[in-house]
Each structure stands twice: as structure tokens, then as C-alpha cells.
Amino acid sequence: MTAVMRGTAWAKVNLALHIRARRDDGYHELETIFAFVDQGDDLTIEISDQDRLVIDGEFAEGLAADADNLVMQALRILRSAGGAGLVPPVAVHLTKNLPVAAGIGGGSADAAAMARLVRDHFLPDIGRVPLRHLVAPLGADVAACVDSETCIGMGTGADLQPATHVNVSGIPILLVNPRQPVATGPIFKAWDQMDRGPLFVGQDMRGALLAARNDLQRPAIAQCPAVAEILTVLGGLKPWLARMSGSGGTCFALFDSAADRDAAAAHLASHHPHWWRCSGVLR
């Protein structure tokens, strides 16, 4: 076992997000396509005399490095599942490269990365599906973030199915955020409760994605008008798809080539330097 164990909390994007109904328990029935970018937060752990968490990075400000952090909650869940003595105390170092309250995974991706690290190094007998079930209570996106592979999310998002016809691996992507947090709860609450139809993904993947939607985009724009500006600018930079992810305010653009993506990123750096940008490819 290496002294320092490293993992990545890959950024999540919702290529589509259809809200179908509001449930009596306050959650929503939804259909979504989860995909993941090859960029994210960095996480390391090493055996220590006691559990501790240090958070740094561009978006560390305001995050609590205490026992309530989702990373530490995931550690406790795995330790309890593994039994006494199998998971030692660890010092955790989380570098927040991704904006928070941004619709791209945030704490869910961090918790999932922690779960993978602990499983891989201390509890190898826990399989992929049991690991998802263990940490799913931490948040609706956590189960999908465990594997960080393209999949379909149903129910509240934790009921995962293979994305048979969605082969997006290697597609160049550009993420853009206005550096304004968007709280998930109020956005879901502001949904107009209109069921605009199911998500359908057939053989024509690109056509299906273009026909899909994000039902939270309109309420997010009402709370954060900068989302509309970002989408307008991205739409003019020749992606084949530009859409908001999750409950916002991060938007993404998919391109036919890395050169097109990089040209778009350069344009944003010149004309909108205050926006956060991240270039990568889908995993």
C-alpha cells in the first residue's frame, strides 16, 4: 500500500434532465443522462493517528472541514461497513478545483471519490453495486458519481441504468460557470410542475440529445440570469450542444473537435475572463 493514496472527484454533467413529477416526500421523479468529465477535485488520504480533513484550492472558501463534510461522512459509512479495524484513521486532503453549488457534482463527487479510495485500499471485497448502495443516502447524485461512467438516472436519480446508446466517451467539452452559486433546493421548488415528456435515447444519440432538455434551466435563469448569458455566448461558439447542467449554474458545450473547444475557451478567456472555465473530454 502506498503512503499517499490519490483519487479524483470527476465533474458530473447532466446531458439531459427531465423532471416528471413532484413526490409527496418533497423529492422529484426525474430522468437524466449522467456523464463525467476527465477533470475534477483532487483527493488524497494517508494513514494517520486520527481522522482529519484539510481543504484547499480555488473554491475552498466557506467549506467546513469537519465531521459533517460529505467526504468524512463517506469515510464513516465505509468504516462501519467494513467492520472494526479494517479502515484506519486517515488524514484527508481535498483540493477544490470545481465551483460549489454549481450543478456538476460538488460534494457528491467528493464523497464518491472518498468511497472509491477507501474501498480500493482497505475494503476490496465491496463490489461496485454494493458501494453505490452504501453511499447513496448521502445525496441523489452520489450513486452515479461512484462509477463516474455515463448512465441513465431514474427515480430521484439514484436508480441507475446502462446508457446503451449514449457513447460520449472522448467528446471534447467546455464547462463554464459565472462564479455565482445556485442553490439546488429553490430551483427544484420553482419548477412549474409541468411534465414535458419522457427522456428517449435511441440509435441516433446526437439527435436524441439535441431533442432532450433540462427542465430546471428556466427556473435557474430566473435566479441567476448569468446562465442565460453564458448559454447565448456558448451557442455562438459553434458547439453541437450547449445546455445547463443539473440545477445550474454551470453550463456545458460539446464540440466536434478539441481545436474547436480550445478556440471557444480562448474566446471566453479574452471576452469573459471573470467566468470560470474548464476544458476536458467526457470519460
Pick the last residue of a domain from 106, 132, 162. Answer: 162
Has residue 152 been placed in a domain?
yes
Quote the DSSP letter at residue 99.
P
Percentage of the residues of the chain whose pLDDT score is greater than 90: 94
Pick the last residue of a domain from 162, 196, 226. Answer: 162
- 57 plus 139 within the same structural domain: yes
Q: Catalytic residue, from 41, 96, 110, 141: name it.
A: 141
Mean pLDDT of 42-59: 97
Has residue 147 been placed in a domain?
yes
- 59 plus 145 within the same structural domain: yes
Average pLDDT, the chain: 96
Cis peptide before 249 (omega within 30 of 0): yes
83: Cβ contacts below 8 Å, ≥ 6 apart: none
- 44 plus 181 within the same structural domain: no
Mean pLDDT of 82-108: 95
Instruction: Give the β-pairing of 276-281 and 172-177.
Output: antiparallel
Q: Catalytic residue, from 12, 147, 215, 260: name it.
A: 12
Q: Bigger pLDDT: 26 or 125?
A: 125
- 203 plus 124 within the same structural domain: no
Name the pLDDT band for 2 (thresholds 50, 70, 90): low
Residue 1 has pLDDT above 60, yes or no: no
- 23 plus 127 within the same structural domain: yes
* SS3 assignment, position 209: helix
Pick the last residue of a domain from 122, 138, 162. Answer: 162
Annotated active-site residue 238? The verdict is no
- Domain hosting 206: range is 172-281
Has residue 81 been placed in a domain?
yes
User: d(Cα 192, Cα 258) in Å, to the nearest integer?
Assistant: 37
Annotated active-site residue 141? The verdict is yes
- 27 plus 141 within the same structural domain: yes
Has residue 167 been placed in a domain?
no
Quote the DSSP letter at residue 117.
H
Q: What is the model's pLDDT at position 247?
A: 97
Has residue 213 been placed in a domain?
yes
- 90 plus 15 within the same structural domain: yes
Q: What is the model's pLDDT at position 26?
A: 84
CATH of the domain at 35: 3.30.230.10
Number of domains in the chain: 2
